């Protein structure tokens, strides 16, 4: 299986024009600097790149939680 966390961090880092090392998987999306519109755009890109369906909920607030969700599918 693809490196889900690595792929997500890469997508977010590119989107925010930051280094991947600057993106903490335990920081909340808002701490990283993402709003709900950003997240929707990123989720579409992640679904394409990871070839999966992502159903976001209020509990999914960090990269780590998003990785867990994707890996459970």
Q: Look at the chain and report how many structural domains it folds into.
A: 1
Is residue 19 within 8 Å of 49, Cβ to Cβ?
no
Can you give the CATH number for the domain in which 30 is found? 1.10.1200.10
Q: Can you tell me the distance from the alpha carbon of 47 to that of 17, in angstroms, rounded to the nearest whole number?
A: 20
Q: Is 35 a catalytic residue?
A: yes
Section 37-60 average pLDDT: 94
What average pLDDT does the segment 57-71 reach? Answer: 94
Residue 10, domain extent: 4-72
The three-point CA angle 9-24-44 to 5° equals 35
Catalytic-role residue among 3, 17, 35, 64: 35
- Dump pLDDT digits (tens) for 22-44: 999 999 999 999 999 999 999 99
- Whether residue 63 contacts residue 5, with contact meaning beta carbons closer than 8 Å, is answered with yes
In the predicted model, is pLDDT for residue 1 greater than 70? no
């Amino acid at each position: 299986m693809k490196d889900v966390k690595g792929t997500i961090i890469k997508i977010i880092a590119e989107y925010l024009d930051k280094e991947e090392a600057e993106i903490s998987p335990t920081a909340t999306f808002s701490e990283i600097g993402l709003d709900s519109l950003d997240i929707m755009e990123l989720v579409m890109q992640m679904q394409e790149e990871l070839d999966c369906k992502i159903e976001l909920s209020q509990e999914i607030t960090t990269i780590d939680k998003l990785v867990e969700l994707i890996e459970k599918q």
